[in-house]
């Protein structure tokens, strides 16, 4: 099994990009996919992939996650594996324990998870009495009262790129960012599954999988 530290940069790049994704008007859920048009030949030639897991990350670079967070991260990795094996991606998985310098996948995928808190104001109509030409009268919306509220946003970033050469930074040629307001709609696992599927539905080189 190959334990190769530059692969960790895929995760680091994911989290860096995620921290820059400051969408102050996030709807209940949103998905954004970008890919490098100049790398279309890489997508077309790719036949195999692997996913960055703790098995290929040097211990000193592992994030400090509790058991629940690690289990959630493993679940996301499994969803990525399922999505990249089916249409429209149709790539063959190279398990991380089979990756060697001689047996490299054509593409690596990773995931970056984050939670941020956003805030803003909503305005509520407040009734009140007004003195006018005809005397006092009631206005059901006499003035607007601002109320500050906060909401938590969960973000999932999935970057994909070819194996970096030793000493080089990874090249990300595909990335999907999904964001959702937590505590709304479906449960988190259902949202993540739908987000992963939606991201890979926009794969640049759509294929029809063939059964062996």
Q: What is the pLDDT of residues 86-126, one digit of tens each?
A: 999 999 999 999 988 889 999 999 988 877 787 777 778 88
Query: Mean per-residue pLDDT for 189-195?
Result: 90
Structure confidence at residue 68 (pLDDT):
82
What domain range includes position 45?
5-118+152-200
Q: Is residue 209 part of a domain?
A: no
Query: Mean per-residue pLDDT for 169-181?
Result: 88
Domain count for the chain, please give it.
Answer: 1
Q: Is residue 91 part of a domain?
A: yes
Structure confidence at residue 61 (pLDDT):
65
Structure confidence at residue 124 (pLDDT):
83
Query: Mean per-residue pLDDT for 171-189?
Result: 84
Whether residue 82 has pLDDT greater than 80: yes
Q: What is the pLDDT of residues 127-161, one digit of tens each?
A: 877 777 777 778 888 778 888 877 778 889 999 99
Q: Is residue 138 part of a domain?
A: no
Q: From CA 3, how far away is CA 99, in angstroms rounded?
A: 9
Q: Is residue 212 part of a domain?
A: no
Give which of 131, 47, 136 is closest to 91, Cα–Cα: 47
CATH code for position 58: 3.30.160
Average pLDDT, the chain: 80
Query: Mean per-residue pLDDT for 168-183?
Result: 86
Confidence of residue 58 (pLDDT cuts 50, 70, 90): low
Instruction: Pick 2 or 38 by higher pLDDT.
Output: 38
Q: Is residue 93 part of a domain?
A: yes
**Percent of the chain with pLDDT strictly greater than 70:** 81
Q: Are 175 and 109 in contact (CB under 8 A)?
A: no
Whether residue 175 has pLDDT greater than 90: yes
Q: From CA 86, how far away is CA 36, in angstroms rounded?
A: 22
- In order, the DSSP letters of 119-161 are EEEEEEEEEEEEEETTEEEEEEEEEEEEEEEEEEEEEEEEEEE
Structure confidence at residue 117 (pLDDT):
80
Instruction: Pick 121 or 79 by higher pLDDT.
Output: 79
Q: What is the pLDDT of residues 18-33, one digit of tens each?
A: 444 444 334 457 899 9
Q: Is residue 195 part of a domain?
A: yes
């Amino acid at each position: 099994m190959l334990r190769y530290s530059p692969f960790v940069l895929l995760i680091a790049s994911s989290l860096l990009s995620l921290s820059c994704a400051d969408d102050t008007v996030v709807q209940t859920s949103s998905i954004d996919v970008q890919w490098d048009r100049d790398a279309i030949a890489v997508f077309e030639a790719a036949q195999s992939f692997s996913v960055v897991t703790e098995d290929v990350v040097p211990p000193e670079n592992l994030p400090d996650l509790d058991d629940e967070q690690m289990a959630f991260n493993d679940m996301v990795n499994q969803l990525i594996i399922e999505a990249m094996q089916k249409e429209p991606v149709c790539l063959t998985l190279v398990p991380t324990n089979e990756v060697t310098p001689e047996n490299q996948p054509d593409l690596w995928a990773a995931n970056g998870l984050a939670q941020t808190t956003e805030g803003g104001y909503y305005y509520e109509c407040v009734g009140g009495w007004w003195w006018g030409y005809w005397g006092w009268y009631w206005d059901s919306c006499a003035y607007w009262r601002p109320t500050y509220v906060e909401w938590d946003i969960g973000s999932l970033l999935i970057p994909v790129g070819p194996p970096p050469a030793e000493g080089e930074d990874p090249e990300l040629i595909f990335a999907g960012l999904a964001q959702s307001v937590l505590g709304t709609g479906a449960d988190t696992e259902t949202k993540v599954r739908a987000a992963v599927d939606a991201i890979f539905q926009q794969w640049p080189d759509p294929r029809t999988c063939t059964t062996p």
